[in-house]
Amino acid sequence: MAGGEAINRCPPGGDATILALAALLDRDVLPLDPALLPSPAPALAFIREEDCIGCFKCVRACPVDAILGAPQMMHTVVAAECTGCGLCLPPCPVDCIELLELAQDSEPAWSRDVAQRRADARRERTSRELLSDRDAREARRAAAALRARRAQTVRESIDRVRARRVAIERGRDNGFGN
């Protein structure tokens, strides 16, 4: 999104997320992308596991943590958690995710309340991870600055000792000392 992608493509995040993103990225507030409004036909994502290359991109895209997998490993959709939003499809580099339309009258396995709770939990976890990444970056920067200050102090001490030696040797040459 920081690169310009749409900020209105998160159905579980709803208007609150669109408003927060618009403020954060200084962008216009838009209504939720109508293509992502609940579909009249319930759907379920399905990963063709034999084609999956384990890139993890779909896991990052799923707003309700309905995809299981680890980097370089096969991934799979937890059918009972998938809301059929389709957000995992575009990032897949090998197009191995399909959105299966379910029977019009089929009861979805997921509930809106549970999906909202999972989306909230995911948002909290993501912001904690971002914060801890930022803390780690600041700690690395502080450690690098400390190392640079110490190196500078050592260089200054060496320069002072050299200057003192030169002064003593010049004093000897001019008949002072001894």
Residue with smaller CB distance to ligand SF4, 100 or 154 = 100
Q: How far apart (Å, rounded) are the C-alpha atoms in residues 75 and 69? A: 4
Q: Which of 85, 105, 122, 150 binds ligand SF4 (CB under 6 A)?
A: 85
Q: Does 119 bind ligand SF4 (CB under 6 A)?
A: no
Q: Which of 29, 30, 94, 154 binds ligand SF4 (CB under 6 A)?
A: 94
Q: Which of 22, 32, 36, 56 binds ligand SF4 (CB under 6 A)?
A: 56
Residue 126 half-sphere exposure, CB side, CA atoms within 13 Å? 13
> Quick check: 62 and 79 in contact, CB under 8 A?
no
Q: Does 75 bind ligand SF4 (CB under 6 A)?
A: yes
- Least distance in angstroms from the C-beta of 111 to ligand SF4: 13
Q: Which residues contact 91 (CB under 8 A, 6 or more apart)?
A: 57, 58, 60, 61
> Quick check: 10 and 87 in contact, CB under 8 A?
yes
- Least distance in angstroms from the C-beta of 30 to ligand SF4: 20
Q: How far apart (Å, rounded) are the C-alpha atoms in residues 134 and 108? A: 39
Residues that bind ligand SF4 (CB under 6 A): 45, 47, 52-58, 61-62, 64, 66-67, 69, 75, 77, 82-88, 91-92, 94, 96-97
